[in-house]
Structure 1
Amino acid sequence: MSRICELTGKGRQVGNNVSHANNKTKRTFLPNLQNVTLLSDTLERSIKLRVSTHGLRSVEHNGGLDNWLVKTSDDKLSLKARRLKRDVVKKRAAATAA
C-alpha cells in the first residue's frame, strides 16, 4: 500500500538529516495517514479512505466530503476520489432535476 493520501495526493518527501558536524544523510518525511470512514450525505453511505490529517481537516473545513469533492479539481484527486466525485455530482444533478 503506497503512502499517499487518497484525497489530497500528499505523499512522501525526501530530505536530509543534518548532524551537529553538518554530515548529511538522506531520509524520508512521511505524511500522517489515517484510515478513516467518512460519511457521504448525497450517496447516503460511508466510505473508507486512507487520508492525511491535513486532508481530513480540509474536508471538515469545507462542510463534509461531498462539498470538498465538488470544490476540488479532478487533477488533484486520486482515482478512487474521482469516482466518488463523479457519483456525487451525478446524484446531485438527479436530485435537482427531480
Structure 2
Amino acid sequence: MARRCELTGKAVQSGHLVSHSNRKTKRRFLPNLCSVTLQSETLGRSVRLRIAAAALRSVEHRGGLDAFLAKASDSELSSGALALKREIAKKLAAAN
C-alpha cells in the first residue's frame, strides 16, 4: 500500500536528521495517514479512503466530500478518488 494521501497527493518526503555535532543522516518524513469512512450526500453512500489528517480537515472545511472533490484538481487525486469524482459529477448532471 502506497504511503500517499488519496485526496491531496501528500506523500513521503526525505531529508536529513541533523545531530548536535551537525552530522547529517538521511531520514524519511511520513504523512499522517488515517483510514476513514466519509459520507457522500450525492451518491447516498459511504466511501472508505486512506487520507492524511490535514486532508480530513480540508474536507470538513470545504463542506464535505462532494464539495472537496468538485474543487480538487484531477492530477492530485488517486485513481479511486478520480472515479468517485466522475461518478458524483455524472449523478449531479443527471439530476439537473
Question: Matched residues in 2 for 1:53 and 1:74: separation?
Answer: 20
Aligned to 1:44: 44
Cα drift, residue 76 of structure 1 = 1.6
Quote the offset at 1:35 in angstroms: 0.4
Instruction: Measure how far apart 1:24 and its partner are.
Output: 0.4
TM-score (norm 2): 0.98
Structure 2: where are the runs of 5+ without partners? none
Pairwise CA distance, 1:75: 1.1
Q: Deviations over 1:30-82 (max 9, x none)?
A: 00000000000000000000000011111111000001001111112111110
- What's 1:20 paired with? 20
For these two proteins, the number of residue pairs brought into alignment is 96
CA RMSD between the two structures:
0.5
Aligned to 1:3: 3
**CA distance in structure 2 between the partners assigned to 1:2 and 1:45 by the alignment:** 25
1:65 aligned partner:
65
* 2:31 counterpart residue number: 31
TM-score of the two chains, using structure 1 as the length reference: 0.96
Which letter does structure 2 place at the counterpart of 1:71?
A: K
Q: Which runs of 4+ in 1 moved over 3 A?
A: none
